[in-house]
């Protein structure tokens, strides 16, 4: 396919919708042509913001999702409410459209697996946004873990937090349990979850979860999840909508060394036998890998399947489901 991809934006619910639209607009090999949202008010606001952001004045709106998917478009970006992911993505895949979606892929493992099979049968690229996997600190940490510089991992701590409900920039709709399906852990907490799974594995032996609501909303805005693994390793996962300033933390500890990032610095620091055993040493960072949107378009162009991304996406839903169940939230089940 030599012409630019024609892409539709499905939903203005998620705060990253305009970011994905802007990234597509900056590319020469793709263009945003259509948009849809089931909420007329949100659609009006989203289209206004999209067009004022620059360069997207030609984007047209269709209030009928079925009619839109029947149009001559190649691909869709799904940024609807989390609860709508499964139905919207399934409809797009069955219509033969390539799909990029905000996390999580769907709310149950069975739904995720159905979407993966449908994408394969429809011969289209389905990819979930997991941006932290290609950040420089993650790439450097992964290399050090894989080459044995830390020894056997015994502990990890991953934190993602922001001040969205303190500063007022995170919409109230993220607090609707029917649409959002969960709070801080289901949204921003996805990032520390899939990073934990990258380093310690996708299948912990036991989970505990403690959720609280500082702001009094019906979903948690503060969450801590702990996981234990068969080899004795422990993981701590933290997520929050009520942290000022926002915080991103990576901590890995093993039998031969440790890595730290985010404790007051953006640097990745190492200490241990493979580094300096007495003091923390800065680890050189590689360039960032391709963004999720770049990965998706590359797979579309190459006609390939993002197997690792989809495996991570299914594992992510399984973990989030288990954590929500452990915290007493029964609306999100593993099957």
* pLDDT tens digits along 177-220: 999 999 999 999 999 999 999 999 999 999 999 999 999 999 99
Residue 48 to residue 147: CA distance in whole angstroms: 50
Other Cβ atoms closer than 10 A to 163: 17
Residue 290 to residue 328: CA distance in whole angstroms: 37
Query: What's the chain's average pLDDT?
Result: 95
DSSP 287: P
Residue 220 to residue 224: CA distance in whole angstroms: 10
Torsion angle, CA of 70/74/79/82, rounded to 10 degrees? 70
In the predicted model, residues of the chain with pLDDT beneath 70 are: 1, 54-57, 330-335
What pLDDT is stored for residue 206 in this prediction? Answer: 97
Maximum distance among all alpha carbons in the chain?
A: 64
Single pTM value for the model: 0.95
What pLDDT is stored for residue 333 in this prediction? Answer: 37
Contacts 24+ apart (CB under 8 A), 327-331: 327/185, 327/209, 327/210, 327/211, 327/220, 327/223, 328/211, 329/182, 329/211, 331/177, 331/181
Of all helices (H) and strands (E), which one includes residue 65? helix 65-69
Q: How far apart are the first and last CA of the chain?
A: 38
- The fraction of the chain above a pLDDT of 90, given in percent, is 92
User: Which domains can be identified in the chain, with CATH numbers?
Assistant: 5-130 (3.40.50.720), 136-287 (3.30.360.10)
CB 69 within 8 A of CB 93: no
């Amino acid at each position: 396919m030599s012409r630019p991809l024609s892409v539709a934006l499905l939903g203005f619910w998620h705060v990253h919708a305009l970011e994905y639209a802007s990234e597509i607009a900056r590319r020469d090999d793709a263009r945003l042509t259509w948009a849809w949202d089931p909420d007329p008010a949100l659609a009006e606001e989203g289209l206004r913001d999209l067009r004022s952001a620059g360069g997207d004045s030609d984007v047209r709106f269709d209030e009928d999702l079925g009619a839109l998917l029947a149009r001559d478009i190649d691909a869709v970006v799904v940024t609807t409410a989390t609860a709508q992911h499964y139905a919207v993505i399934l409809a797009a895949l069955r219509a033969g459209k390539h799909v990029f979606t905000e996390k999580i892929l769907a709310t149950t493992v069975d739904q995720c697996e159905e979407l993966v099979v449908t994408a394969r049968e429809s011969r289209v690229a389905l990819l979930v946004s997991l941006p932290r996997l290609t950040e420089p600190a993650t790439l450097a940490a992964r290399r050090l873990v894989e080459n044995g510089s830390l020894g056997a991992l015994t502990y990890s701590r991953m934190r993602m937090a922001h001040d969205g409900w303190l500063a007022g920039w995170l919409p109230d709709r993220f607090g609707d349990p029917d649409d959002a399906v969960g709070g801080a852990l289901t949204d921003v907490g996805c990032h520390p979850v899939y990073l934990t799974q990258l380093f310690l594995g996708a299948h912990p032996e036991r989970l505990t979860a403690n959720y609280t609501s500082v702001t009094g909303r019906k979903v948690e805005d503060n969450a801590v999840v702990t996981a234990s693994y068969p080899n004795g390793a422990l993981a701590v996962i933290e997520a929050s909508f009520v942290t000022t300033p926002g915080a991103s933390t990576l901590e890995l500890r093993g039998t031969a060394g440790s890595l730290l990032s985010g404790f007051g610095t953006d640097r990745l620091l190492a200490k241990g036998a493979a580094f300096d055993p007495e003091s923390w040493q800065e680890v050189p960072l590689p360039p960032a890998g391709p963004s999720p949107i770049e990965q998706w378009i590359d797979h579309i162009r190459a006609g390939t399947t993002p197997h690792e991304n989809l495996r991570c996406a299914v594992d992510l839903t399984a973990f989030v489901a288990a954590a929500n169940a452990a915290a007493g939230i029964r609306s999100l089940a593993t099957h």
